[in-house]
Amino acid sequence: MTLQSSGSVISLSQIAAEFGGSAPHSMSEYYKNAGLVPSTATEAVTASSLGGSNSTNYRYPAIGGYDPQINTQSRLYTQALWGDNGSTITMDRNFTVNKTGTYNYYVGYYIQGSGTATVTMYVNGSQVRSHSLSVGYNTTTSATNTLSVSSGQVIRTVGSGPSSGWAVIYVYVGGSSYNNSSITISSNSSVPTSNLISMSNFYGASA
């Protein structure tokens, strides 16, 4: 558990209980990035407040169709939105994240014929990037990238693409990978990597 962030003086035994190490303990064991005190931490993230709309999904989950959804399949956001026989796939969906960090995403487009889909990603109302996904007969093309998002901000995905026979637009949004729901954050910023180190450097520190 995290050490207290203020108040009573932190003891060496508390630091050892949090980070481990070999007795007899000394402060020199507890420099950051020296093996016991990490510089990063992993935190779970969740999405909320799914909004927006999309075209009819021509497939259901048993055959690979997934209506836009949050907090499923180990991701924050999942969609596999299918069209068929000339219908146009469209979506304009959004959701809110609860942690500040870097979020990874995947966008993909498959069509039995040939065509081009566009998928545009926004953060808090501002366009971050747009992908033009052009494919030939019966193939898939895809792109991956990241979004820098603050706690409480909204990720929005807008896209469209034709069908010719079957077609699908995939969008997956995760944390440190587009297939997970955790992010990597900086931690223990007050703990030095060398030179002078003191008990007060460990207020709020965590293994």
What is the C-alpha to C-alpha distance for residues 93 and 199, in angstroms, rounded to an integer? 48
Q: Which residues contact 10 (CB under 8 A, 6 or more apart)?
A: 3, 4, 199, 200, 202, 203
63-110: pLDDT as tens digits: 999 999 999 999 999 999 999 999 999 999 999 999 999 999 999 999
Domains within the chain, CATH numbers bracketed: 12-39+187-202 (no CATH), 44-179 (2.60.120)
Tokens of 144: 């991956």
137-155: pLDDT as tens digits: 999 999 999 999 999 999 9
pTM of the model: 0.86
